[in-house]
Structure 1
């Protein structure tokens, strides 16, 4: 299991991650709302729904925050826990959701075998993800 911060931007994720790639090098992958299925109505199709910068030093991830408008510079956070497989991720998600508030139900996405977002009963915002290739 690993824990990673996930950066949220107003509408500048593409610009920010392109800059981070220029600064740190690495491989950049961007998934827009137009690339995805099941995106809620009203989300800009050009919004970055998932950005991943993989470098020799590690991975930086983030997206445009589709739920905050207007949105200024990066603020707030979610704890992103990446578990080894979808079963382990589902179990963690369900346990954290007990007494909390689900923001995005746990399900497969274009980048993960299982992903979900929630606020746990203690007020901690979480993103539960499945390791790539699991």
Structure 2
């Protein structure tokens, strides 16, 4: 079977541009945006500059997202983005940077299963898990 790509698609409440620029500073890569105004120049002025579709590609992670159209629910919070690997220093750095201004749910610490693990919600309301593998 051919490999497929799975990219998280993050929905925001009007602050997609700010969030993607924040993530780009942490992960690198290239950000591209298409606004609602780019798609339809006759859209209401209040949404013209909001992001209809954005991508962060070519860095250490890749994902897509946009500002939710008015009346569209943002989701039920059933998704967590998970960063994992063996590079402790790099993953600790990502945990610290991404959690700035957010809410720590589980402090980054050694867990009963042996890995170093932590969880938080970033300042944009996105839930993250970081797992530093030890074996």
Scaled to the shorter chain, the TM-score interval is 0.3 to 0.5
Q: TM-score, normalised by structure 1?
A: 0.45
Q: TM-score, normalised by structure 2?
A: 0.45
- Report the structure number with the largest CA radius of gyration: 2
Higher RCO (C-alpha under 8 Å, 6+ residues apart):
1
